[in-house]
């Protein structure tokens, strides 16, 4: 059944024809791509492979952009906080920004479009009380209240595309021109984008796939005065703003946005902020426009018998694949970077496209491919991590990025990728149209729901944050587990209740973030709906500071469901009697040592019947509680590991009151997993580790046997009837 060719995309480069042919052969590649900075030779384009060509819509056309600087992309920025020491306060609002990236918009009336806020009171300062010195780039408040802090929210032009800026600075591209981003909403830009694509399509007959990198609005990426990253938000709509957009918004939605709706106290509506109605409206407005413009570009591409592929990254704002308009784009494929199981699922689960493609790690860059380093290690870790998720929902294609010539110098790496590509194809062939066995359906509940499917607790692709890893582990564990996973927003629950097929809700995050929910938990429909549902048999897992908003004597608003709450200091006078741990518990049966990551402190049980599973240093870190016919489970944090995946799976089964079904299509060893495919009567036992493992394997009937697995091994087996 092993396929030696197909479903693999390689980067190529100039003067690398023979080696490209060899690697295509060894890895079974059927597509070749260029990169930002590399072009393909003619001979390479004529090889027996699809050709992907990178296409920039709204940058990389300075010949146009320089003629229409008034259509340059804009953004709203906030100055630093400035304390008034007297009645006059001068604010150098550009202070801390990178002058090569941004400049103030003095074309539009500053009194209309800018906002000065007294951050001590939160009040907007009357524009008659300030003026702007456009030469010095300062704003002077003439009637400041001494010792109050002030900020200026100002409209700026973004003169340099952030991705090119990043590459330019990182790779020291010297005086290579700065690519100017322009706003497709503006008349000349809109026309240019369409005309240029038409011309380009005609001029690139060898291109099979137009790889849009991406469309119009770049995620927010702002540099500081030293040319270093100052602010990055992969989800940020900051750089989608313009006067034209704001006017169109007012027209469409019937009210005007304030600068503060975008600036948001300097948080710029980070995904960690529970979104305001104004911001949701703005996102909707940008998405609707973006999708309709993408649609016309895609139609043009199709008109030239080519495919349109979207790179998930860079200028993807408004084109979110889980957004409600995405299906209208007509996009054929999405490609994105696969750092782990979570990002694999983020790509693989995208609906409405013909195929998905994952770019695997490592990149063929000198930071990995240097003498004395073994790139196989990173490749293996990446593959093992991603493979779990692939078993649940395979990508349609995989690929690599960077300089093929670098990889070529590492024969053991070339060998290993050959194994990966073969294994990928064999998995794909078997299961791509087959639904895997799932023991449970899990819904991740937060303020974003479906829009941020597999994207919770992310700031920027692959960046580690001390504040997030203890929650990201939940998604990573789920990404390769035998569960169906869905994403629900609070509004979904308020409007439509909890879908019938959901077994367990998970709410995970720090207090007041969009992922925990903050003030949303004051909505009585939300809490009542969940209480009723759990009471009637549902499962609710809270991680970190779930349902947290201090109100009416409770911090966790579903403390009754969870059986625990967090001590804020107000109830120290109340004795905390229930600290005895249970002797044994289904959830902790397999655990050898706990790792709650950053963990959560000062959690205590409200009731004697709460089952305290782990208690240390004066705090509960793991517990469960009955609530009617249902159950609540509390966990202090869940960084990703094989043991924690086991812990989460046990918690899910326990919460769902389905412990008896736990040992079905299951491997007892946390380093191993079983994936079963009832429609084809096959299952596989997978060793997710790079060491040998022995495990009990439980079949669909619950019958078990022991098996030994080589490092990384997958053992496929057929089974009859129930298994």
CB atoms within 10 A of CB 16: 19
What residue 642 binds from its own copies, Mg ion, none (CB within 5 to 8 A, per partner kind)?
Answer: none
The CA distance from 96 to 682, in Å, is 59
Residue 14 in contact with its own copies, rule: CB under 8 A = no
The DSSP code sequence of 241-301 is B-HHHHHHHHHHHSSPPPHHHHHGGGTTT-TTBPPPHHHHHHHHHHHHHHHHHHHHHHHHH
Span near its own copies by CB under 8 A; candidates 302-310, 328-336, 549-557, 580-588: 549-557
Measured from the CB atom, is 550 or 696 closer to its own copies? 550
Taking the CA of residue 610 as centre, how many other CA atoms within 13 Å lie in the half-sphere pointing to its CB? 28
- DSSP three-state, residue 12: coil
Measured from the CB atom, is 588 or 624 closer to its own copies? 624
- DSSP three-state, residue 38: strand
The CA distance from 96 to 228, in Å, is 10
Residue 705 in contact with its own copies, rule: CB under 8 A = no
Residue 467 in contact with its own copies, rule: CB under 8 A = yes
Q: Residue 709 CB, nearest distance to its own copies (Å)?
A: 37
Measured from the CB atom, is 413 or 521 closer to Mg ion? 521
Measured from the CB atom, is 153 or 516 closer to Mg ion? 516
Residue 550 in contact with its own copies, rule: CB under 8 A = yes
> Which one of residues 112, 136, 146, 250 is an interface residue with its own copies (CB under 8 A)?
146
What residue 145 binds from Mg ion, its own copies, none (CB within 5 to 8 A, per partner kind)?
Answer: its own copies
What residue 616 binds from Mg ion, its own copies, none (CB within 5 to 8 A, per partner kind)?
Answer: none
What residue 87 binds from Mg ion, its own copies, none (CB within 5 to 8 A, per partner kind)?
Answer: none
Q: Which two tokens stand for residue 653?
A: 């089964």
Instruction: By CB under 5 A, name the binding residues for Mg ion.
Output: 598, 667, 670
What residue 137 binds from Mg ion, its own copies, none (CB within 5 to 8 A, per partner kind)?
Answer: none
Q: Residue 279 CB, nearest distance to Mg ion (Å)?
A: 25
Residue 120 in contact with its own copies, rule: CB under 8 A = yes
Q: Residue 556 CB, nearest distance to its own copies (Å)?
A: 12
Measured from the CB atom, is 532 or 598 closer to Mg ion? 598
What residue 572 binds from Mg ion, its own copies, none (CB within 5 to 8 A, per partner kind)?
Answer: its own copies
The DSSP code sequence of 540-559 is EEEEESTTEEEETTEEETTH
Contact 194, 215 (CB under 8 A): no
Measured from the CB atom, is 213 or 513 closer to Mg ion? 513
What residue 112 binds from its own copies, Mg ion, none (CB within 5 to 8 A, per partner kind)?
Answer: none
The DSSP code sequence of 433-477 is TSPPP-SEEEEEEESSGGGGTT-TT-SSTT---TTTHHHHHHHHH
Taking the CA of residue 606 as centre, how many other CA atoms within 13 Å lie in the half-sphere pointing to its CB? 21
Contact 654, 632 (CB under 8 A): no
Report the sign of the C-alpha dihedral through residues 92, 98, 99, 103, in that order: negative
Region 500-539 residues binding its own copies, contact defined as CB under 8 A? 509-513, 524, 527-529, 531-532, 535
Q: Across-strand partners of 614?
A: 622
Q: Across-strand partners of 333?
A: 309, 355
Least Cα distance to 392 among 336, 439, 353 occurs for: 439
Region 617-636 residues binding its own copies, contact defined as CB under 8 A? 617-618, 628
> Which one of residues 327, 577, 660, 692 is an interface residue with its own copies (CB under 8 A)?
577
CB-based contacts of 162: which residues, under 8 Å, 6+ apart?
101, 218, 219, 221, 222, 223, 239
Residue 593 in contact with its own copies, rule: CB under 8 A = no
What residue 667 binds from its own copies, Mg ion, none (CB within 5 to 8 A, per partner kind)?
Answer: Mg ion
Residue 595 in contact with its own copies, rule: CB under 8 A = no
Nearest residue to Mg ion on Cβ basis? 667
Span near its own copies by CB under 8 A; candidates 142-150, 241-249, 350-358, 385-393: 142-150
> Which one of residues 468, 481, 669, 688 is an interface residue with its own copies (CB under 8 A)?
468
Measured from the CB atom, is 220 or 624 closer to its own copies? 220
> Which one of residues 18, 42, 63, 228 is an interface residue with its own copies (CB under 8 A)?
228
Residue 560 in contact with its own copies, rule: CB under 8 A = yes
The CA distance from 604 to 7, in Å, is 52
* Dihedrals phi, psi of 566, to nearest 5 degrees: -110, 130
- Rounded to the nearest angstrom, the gap between the alpha carbon of residue 123 and the centroid of all alpha carbons in its chain is 34
Contact 311, 213 (CB under 8 A): yes
Measured from the CB atom, is 595 or 598 closer to Mg ion? 598
Residue 367 in contact with its own copies, rule: CB under 8 A = no
Measured from the CB atom, is 148 or 441 closer to its own copies? 148
Q: Residue 621 CB, nearest distance to Mg ion (Å)?
A: 11
> Which one of residues 552, 592, 593, 721 is an interface residue with its own copies (CB under 8 A)?
552
- Binding-residue total with its own copies (CB under 8 A): 71
What residue 484 binds from its own copies, Mg ion, none (CB within 5 to 8 A, per partner kind)?
Answer: none
Q: Which two tokens stand for residue 601?
A: 């402190």
Q: Residue 674 CB, nearest distance to Mg ion (Å)?
A: 7
Span near its own copies by CB under 8 A; candidates 34-42, 261-269, 588-596, 679-687: 261-269
> Which one of residues 65, 89, 117, 283 is an interface residue with its own copies (CB under 8 A)?
117
* Alpha helices, DSSP H, located in 159-233: 162-170, 187-203
Q: Which of the residues 314, 332, 340, 646 is marked catalytic?
A: 314
C-alpha angle 140-237-170 in degrees, rounded to nearest 5: 85
Active site residue 314: yes
DSSP 9: E
Q: Across-strand partners of 9?
A: 31, 399
Q: Residue 667 CB, nearest distance to Mg ion (Å)?
A: 4
The CA distance from 558 to 546, in Å, is 8
Q: Angle between the 277-303 and 243-253 helix axes, to the nearest 10 degrees?
A: 110
Span near its own copies by CB under 8 A; candidates 49-57, 170-178, 280-288, 461-469: 461-469
CB-based contacts of 618: which residues, under 8 Å, 6+ apart?
602
The CA distance from 249 to 76, in Å, is 15
What residue 468 binds from its own copies, Mg ion, none (CB within 5 to 8 A, per partner kind)?
Answer: its own copies
> Which one of residues 137, 265, 296, 704 is an interface residue with its own copies (CB under 8 A)?
265
Region 47-106 residues binding its own copies, contact defined as CB under 8 A? 81, 83, 85
- DSSP three-state, residue 116: strand
Residue 149 in contact with its own copies, rule: CB under 8 A = yes
What residue 272 binds from Mg ion, its own copies, none (CB within 5 to 8 A, per partner kind)?
Answer: its own copies
Measured from the CB atom, is 229 or 598 closer to Mg ion? 598
Q: Which residues are catalytically annotated?
A: 314
């Amino acid at each position: 059944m092993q396929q030696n060719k197909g479903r693999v995309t390689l980067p190529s480069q100039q003067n690398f024809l023979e080696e490209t042919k060899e690697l295509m052969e060894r890895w079974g590649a059927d597509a070749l791509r260029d990169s930002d900075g590399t072009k393909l030779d003619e001979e390479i384009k004529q090889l027996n492979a699809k050709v992907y060509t990178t296409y920039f819509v709204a940058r990389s056309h300075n010949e146009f952009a320089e003629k229409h600087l008034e259509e340059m992309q804009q953004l709203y920025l906030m100055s630093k906080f400035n304390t008034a020491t007297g009645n006059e306060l001068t604010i150098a609002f550009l202070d801390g920004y990178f002058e090569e990236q941004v400049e103030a918009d003095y074309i539009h009336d500053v009194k209309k479009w800018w906002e000065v806020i007294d951050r001590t009171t939160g009040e907007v300062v009357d524009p008659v009380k300030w003026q702007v010195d456009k030469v010095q780039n300062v704003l002077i408040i003439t009637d400041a209240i001494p010792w109050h802090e002030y900020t200026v929210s100002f409209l700026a032009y973004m003169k340099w595309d952030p991705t090119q800026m990043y590459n330019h600075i990182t790779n020291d591209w010297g005086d290579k021109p700065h690519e100017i981003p322009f706003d497709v909403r503006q008349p000349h830009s809109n026309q240019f984008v369409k005309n240029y694509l038409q011309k380009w399509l005609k001029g690139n007959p060898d291109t099979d796939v137009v790889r849009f990198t991406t469309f119009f609005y770049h995620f927010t990426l702002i540099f500081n005065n030293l040319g270093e990253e100052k602010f990055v938000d992969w989800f940020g709509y900051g750089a989608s703003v313009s006067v034209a957009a704001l006017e169109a918004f007012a027209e469409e939605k019937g009210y005007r946005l304030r600068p503060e709706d975008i600036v948001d106290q300097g948080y710029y509506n980070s995904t960690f902020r529970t979104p305001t109605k104004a911001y949701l409206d703005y996102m909707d407005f940008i998405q609707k426009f973006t999708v309709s413009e993408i649609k016309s570009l895609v139609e043009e591409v199709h008109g030239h018998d080519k495919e349109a592929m979207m790179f998930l990254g860079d200028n993807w704002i408004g084109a979110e694949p889980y957004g409600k308009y995405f299906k209208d784009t007509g996009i054929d494929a999405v490609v994105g970077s696969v750092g782990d199981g979570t990002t694999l699922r983020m790509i693989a689960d995208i609906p409405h496209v013909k195929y998905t493609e994952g770019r695997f790690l490592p990149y063929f860059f000198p930071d990995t491919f240097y003498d004395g380093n073994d790139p196989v290690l990173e490749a293996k870790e990446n593959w093992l991590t991603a493979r779990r998720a692939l078993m649940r929902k395979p990508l349609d294609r995989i690929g690599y990025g960077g300089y093929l010539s670098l990889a070529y110098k590492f024969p053991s790496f070339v060998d290993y990728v050959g194994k990966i590509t073969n294994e990928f194809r064999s998995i794909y062939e078997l299961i791509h149209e087959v639904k895997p066995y799932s023991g449970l359906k899990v819904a991740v509940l937060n303020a974003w729901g479906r829009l941020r499917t597999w994207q919770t607790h992310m700031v920027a692709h692959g960046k580690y944050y001390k504040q997030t890893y203890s929650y990201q582990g939940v998604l990573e564990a789920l990404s390769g587990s035998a569960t169906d996973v869905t994403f629900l927003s609070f509004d979904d629950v308020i409007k439509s209740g909890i879908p019938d097929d959901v077994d367990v809700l998970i709410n995970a995050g720090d207090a007041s973030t969009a992922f925990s929910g903050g003030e949303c938990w004051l909505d009585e429909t939300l809490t009542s709906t969940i209480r009723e549902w759990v009471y009637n048999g549902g499962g609710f897992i809270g991680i970190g500071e779930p349902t947290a908003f201090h109100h009416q004597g409770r911090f966790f608003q579903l403390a009754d469901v969870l059986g625990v709450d967090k001590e804020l200091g107000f109830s120290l006078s109340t004795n905390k009697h229930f600290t005895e741990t249970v002797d044994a518990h289904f959830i902790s049966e397999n655990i050898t040592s706990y790792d709650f990551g950053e963990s959560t402190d000062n959690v205590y049980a409200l009731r004697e019947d709460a089952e305290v599973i782990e208690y240390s240093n004066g705090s509960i870190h793991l517990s469960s509680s009955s609530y009617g016919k249902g159950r609540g489970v509390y966990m202090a944090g869940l960084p990703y590991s094989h043991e924690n995946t086991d812990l989460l799976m046990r918690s899910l089964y326990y919460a769902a009151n389905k412990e008896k079904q736990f040992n079905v299509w299951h491997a007892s060893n946390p380093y191993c997993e079983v994936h079963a495919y009832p429609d084809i009567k096959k299952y596989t036992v997978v060793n997710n580790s790079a060491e040998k493992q022995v495990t009990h394997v439980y079949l669909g009937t619950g019958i078990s046997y022991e098996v030994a697995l080589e490092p990384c091994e997958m053992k496929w087996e057929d089974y009859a009837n129930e298994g």
